[in-house]
């Protein structure tokens, strides 16, 4: 069965399980979209299905939202439809010019770079995945970020209390305090309330997640280990994005690609604080999630089977990393 046929089976199964209030495809209402799988949503009222990969064949076309960098996103599925920025968030014109001058110095001759073997590159990917997970969850920077989040939450509560008391002076004290706290609770209810003491699970519990990351990076050619050098920055950004995506998990064509880890919801730093403490833009999370979706959607039936087999091996408790040469290198999905 092809990937497209599997996807249609998932949509059909969702459609059969629902009980719709309105006739199928009824147009005289505002659609209430619910997620079916990544890149696919359905209306809980009339059963209309919207899949970005179907393009103009959708009954309800993509509602494009344009970002500051001129990329466009579908409002229904949050999938990036057109992208105009590079994945490397650290790249700018000045940095590019400096690198260009360095690479083509000495009369225009490019500096030679020693080529790394496939095994060395895979080992570097594994090392970078380990380092990124440790930095985001167990490092001193992560601890400082959690402490800053607690202080930030306290300031929001204090500001809400001060705003209310200054606005309602002269009221009876007991009634004023009660309503002030009610106002403060309503003000911060949309903000994550940090726990005073968070103890992340043992780092060993993320071994399967790390193996899945290495498998995805290799199998989907997000980084090409057969090239001269591995882009460590790209590996780190992808792993950070997948940590946030893992809160809800990823399912494609009825197969679990990334198991859900809901406990990460309160352990990971707030996305709004990523740049301050880790130098990463929160937008990269969505970009990497959509990059994974595009890679999986582009797989043929055979390539998707290879990906599923590799992921099943990576999720085996006693599985190890594959660092040997091309005889053990996973097939590409490109």
pLDDT digits (tens, 9 = 90+) for 172-201: 655 567 777 777 778 777 778 787 777 888
Mean pLDDT of 31-57: 84
Can you tell me the distance from the alpha carbon of 99 to that of 286, in angstroms, rounded to the nearest whole number? 28
Higher pLDDT, 15 or 229: 15
Can you tell me the distance from the alpha carbon of 206 to that of 222, in angstroms, rounded to the nearest whole number? 21
Point out the least confidently predicted range of 1-10, 65-74, 95-104, 117-126: 95-104
CB proximity list for 231: less than 8 A, separation 6 or greater: 88, 223
Higher pLDDT, 315 or 168: 315
Please, what is the Cα angle at 191 between 188 and 197, to 5 degrees? Answer: 105
Which element (helix H / strand E) includes 82?
Answer: strand 80-82
pLDDT at 39 over 50: yes
pLDDT at 278 over 50: yes
Give me the pLDDT at residue 319, please: 59
Q: Three-state SS for 99?
A: helix
pLDDT at 292 over 60: yes
- 96, 103 Cβ separation under 8 angstroms: no
Point out the least confidently predicted range of 155-159, 163-167, 213-217, 249-253: 163-167
Q: What is the mean pLDDT of the chain?
A: 77
| Nearest-10 Cα torsion for 169, 173, 179, 183 | 50
> Taking the CB of residue 264, how many other CB atoms lie within 10 A of it?
20
């Amino acid at each position: 069965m092809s990937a497209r046929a599997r996807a249609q089976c998932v949509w059909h199964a969702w459609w059969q399980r629902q009980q719709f209030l309105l006739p199928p495809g009824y147009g005289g209402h505002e659609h209430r979209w619910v997620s079916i799988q990544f890149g696919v949503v359905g209306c809980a009222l009339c059963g209309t299905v919207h899949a970005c990969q179907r393009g103009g064949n959708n009954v309800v076309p993509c509602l494009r939202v344009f970002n500051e960098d001129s990329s466009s996103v579908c409002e229904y599925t949050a999938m990036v439809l057109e992208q105009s920025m590079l994945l490397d968030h650290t790249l700018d014109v000045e940095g590019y010019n400096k690198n260009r001058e360095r690479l083509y110095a000495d009369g225009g001759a490019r500096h030679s770079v020693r080529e790394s073997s496939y095994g060395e590159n895979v080992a570097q990917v594994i090392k970078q995945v380990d380092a990124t997970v440790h930095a985001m969850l167990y490092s001193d920077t992560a601890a400082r970020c959690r402490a800053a989040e607690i202080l930030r939450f306290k300031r929001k509560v204090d500001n809400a209390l001060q705003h209310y008391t200054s606005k309602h002076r002269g009221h009876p004290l007991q009634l004023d305090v009660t309503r002030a706290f009610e106002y403060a609770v309503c003000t911060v209810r949309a903000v994550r309330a940090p726990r005073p003491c968070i103890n992340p699970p043992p780092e060993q519990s993320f071994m399967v997640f790390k193996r899945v990351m290495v498998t995805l990076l290799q199998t989907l050619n997000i980084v090409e280990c057969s090239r001269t050098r591995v882009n460590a920055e790209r590996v780190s950004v992808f792993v950070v994005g997948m940590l946030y995506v893992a809160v809800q998990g990823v399912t494609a064509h009825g197969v679990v690609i990334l198991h859900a880890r809901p406990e990460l919801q309160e352990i990971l730093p707030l996305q709004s604080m990523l740049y301050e403490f880790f130098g990463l833009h929160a937008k990269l999370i969505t970009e990497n999630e959509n990059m994974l979706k595009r890679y999986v959607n582009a797989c043929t039936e055979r390539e998707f089977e290879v990906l599923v087999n590799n992921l099943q091996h990576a999720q085996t408790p006693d599985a190890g990393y594959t660092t040997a040469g091309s005889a053990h290198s996973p097939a590409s999905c490109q």
